């Protein structure tokens, strides 16, 4: 992921997290690992945790604690109805944007 502009990625964190949580409920560090495994190797915990907190505060994610065998309980996140609507909106916006960019850069150069 070294070639991805961090500023571009910053705008996509919400979409990525909502998508991952829609796939399955998970806790913060596991979401970081899943992002890294998907090719977002530079994804920092310091980016993911605040984004999760913002999504929870905006009532797009619900959370619950699960006891851990090692250390403190883990905070798991689940997508709620408002989060599902936001995911759909964000996906529509992403598809629209990538279509516009793709159309522009695919044009032949003069």
Q: Is the residue at 63 inside a domain?
A: yes
CATH code of the domain containing 70: 1.10.10.10
pTM for this model (two decimals): 0.88
Residue 102 main-chain phi, psi, to 5 deg: -60, -40
* 78 beta partners: 62
At 90-105, the pLDDT tens digits run 999 999 999 999 999 9
Q: Is the residue at 66 inside a domain?
A: yes
Taking alpha carbons only, the member of 14, 11, 10 closest to residue 88 is: 14
Q: Is the residue at 42 inside a domain?
A: yes
The residue segments making up the domain with residue 42 are 6-105
Q: Is the residue at 26 inside a domain?
A: yes
At 5-52, the pLDDT tens digits run 777 788 899 999 999 999 999 999 999 999 999 988 878 888 999 999
Q: Is the residue at 43 inside a domain?
A: yes
Q: How many domains does the chain have?
A: 1
């Amino acid at each position: 992921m070294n070639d991805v502009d961090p500023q571009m990625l910053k705008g996509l964190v919400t979409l990525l997290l909502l998508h991952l949580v829609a796939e399955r409920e998970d806790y913060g560090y596991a979401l970081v690992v899943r992002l890294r495994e998907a090719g977002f190797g530079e994804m920092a915990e310091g980016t993911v945790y605040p984004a999760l907190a913002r999504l929870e505060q905006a009532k797009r994610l619900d959370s619950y604690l699960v006891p851990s065998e090692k250390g403190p309980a883990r905070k798991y996140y689940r997508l709620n109805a408002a989060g599902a609507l936001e995911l759909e909106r964000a996906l529509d916006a992403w598809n629209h944007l990538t279509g516009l960019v793709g159309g522009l850069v695919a044009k032949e150069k003069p």
